[in-house]
Amino acid sequence: MQIYKVGGAVRDRLLGKPVTDIDWVVVGATTEEMLALGYRPVGADFPVFLHPKSGEEYALARTERKSGRGYGGFTFHASPEVTLEEDLIRRDLTINAMAEDNQQNLTDPYHGQRDLEDRILRHVSPAFAEDPLRVLRVARFAARYADLGFTVAPQTLELMRQLSESGELQALTAERSWKEISRALMEDQPQVFIQVLRDCDALRVLMPEVDALFGVPQPEVHHPEIDTGIHTLSVLEQSALHKQPLTVRWACLLHDLGKGLTPTEEWPRHIAHEHTGLKLIKAVNERFKAPKDCQELALLVGKYHTHGHRALELKASTLLELLQSFDVYRRPQRFEEFIVACEMDARGRKGLEQRSYPQADYLRGAAKAAREVAVQPLLEKGLKGPELGEALKRERLKALKVYKENA
């Protein structure tokens, strides 16, 4: 029995990055031997065990063969005869197909270390094209290591394009897709993830609503970058630069989908794109079964982001409607995420990345003014039910009018 550290732990150590998760491969062992040593089985499809003390995952060396569509369409074979090289060749990228023993002796049959040095994301073997999830994974790695100068090898990008055209991407489950998308959006350069998906035609398959934004012009006076797709990437980039949470990044990606529906004869204007985009945002939310908080914020940002930009001009009554829509009295955090999404939208424009956004503090002040309206005096007047609700609304409107006058 020989035990090796494999995959990301080896890759990140060689890159000088922090090693968080460690995967282990066991060569020359049987399931019975692992159980006898106290390892606990967890793998349903193939033999994976938890170490009796550390709880880390140890997998028996295995080979795999394509047997159906999608990420799960494989049969696995694990036995003591499977070599380390045979286990490594089934992995996606050369930089993930290295192993080291407990003396840090490197086993690198597919030249992953060389590709690390050359900053290339390259597939290990033609079997790469058998797993559609790898399209998303490679795009995610491109986003993760973009700051180090990594690019996708042309031959690998071509295999990703073949997968995109094969219909295999449609076989991915919403859960598996969302796991990769959400992780990619939380990388330092999530816009690279979207760009790589577009480069291999996967964006057109997975998110045609986002892909449709590229080539759609906007008024240059507001959008020096002109292209709506480029603007979307820039907004996503700003959300990462400002360390925004997943909810905000997801909303930033989807906020302008309505512009993809504007008839060409109306370009570069996009009248009512906020409302036309809602059905598209809803469709993307449902396709990937995004978490509820991501879904809700994406829809609200899509509908109201232009309100955010025009905050200083809004009537007190419109301001109140906006605050009510977000339920700022019970869910203040959601309104705060809306505000920062609007700010990212304003900054995601060529040459305007450092612009100030006074609307943010103005909206925060409006929310504070509305929240500070006391309910107790109205209760003491004997008001209740719908009558109380209307009276509270009137008092909040008065408070917002005062706020506007003094702002």
> Do the beta carbons of residue 164 and residue 207 sit within 8 Å?
no
For 165-203, what is each residue's pLDDT tens digit? Answer: 999 999 999 999 999 999 999 999 999 999 999 999 999
Pick the CATH number of 1-112 from 1.10.510.10, 3.30.460.10, 3.30.70.100, 3.20.20.150: 3.30.460.10
Give SS3 for 27: strand
Does the pLDDT value for residue 221 go beyond 90? yes
Q: 144 in helix, strand or coil?
A: helix
Q: Taking the model in full, what pTM does it have?
A: 0.93
Instruction: Determine the angle formed by the axes of helices 316-326 and 332-347, rounding to 10 degrees.
Output: 110
| Lowest-confidence region among 15-24, 190-199, 293-302, 331-340 | 15-24
Residue 63 pLDDT grade (very low, low, confident, very high; cuts 50, 70, 90): confident
**Residue 356 burial class via C-beta count within 10 angstroms: exposed 0-12, middle 13-18, buried 19 and up:** exposed
Whether residue 72 is predicted with pLDDT greater than 70 in this model: the reply is no
Q: Is 247 exposed, middle or buried (0-12, 13-18, 19+ CB in 10 A)?
A: buried
Crossing angle, helix 332-347 and helix 358-371, to 10 degrees?
170
% of the chain surpassing 70 pLDDT: 96
DSSP H or E stretch at residue 394? helix 385-406
Query: Residue 47's pLDDT band (boundaries 50, 70, 90)?
Result: confident
User: Between the CA atoms of 217, 220, 222 and 227, what dihedral angle is there, to the nearest 10 degrees?
Assistant: 30
pLDDT band at 75 (very low <50, low <70, confident <90, very high): low
Task: Give pLDDT, residue 44.
Answer: 67
Return the closest-CA partner of residue 26 out of 8, 9, 52, 51. Answer: 51
Q: What pLDDT, in 10s, does the model give residues 106-115? A: 999 999 999 9
**How many CB atoms within 10 Å of residue 285?**
19
Closest CA to 90 of 104, 80, 77: 77
Q: Measured in whole angstroms, how far is the alpha carbon of residue 114 from the centre of its chain?
A: 29
Q: What's the confidence (pLDDT) of residue 390?
A: 94
User: pLDDT class for 336, splitting at 50, 70, 90?
Assistant: very high
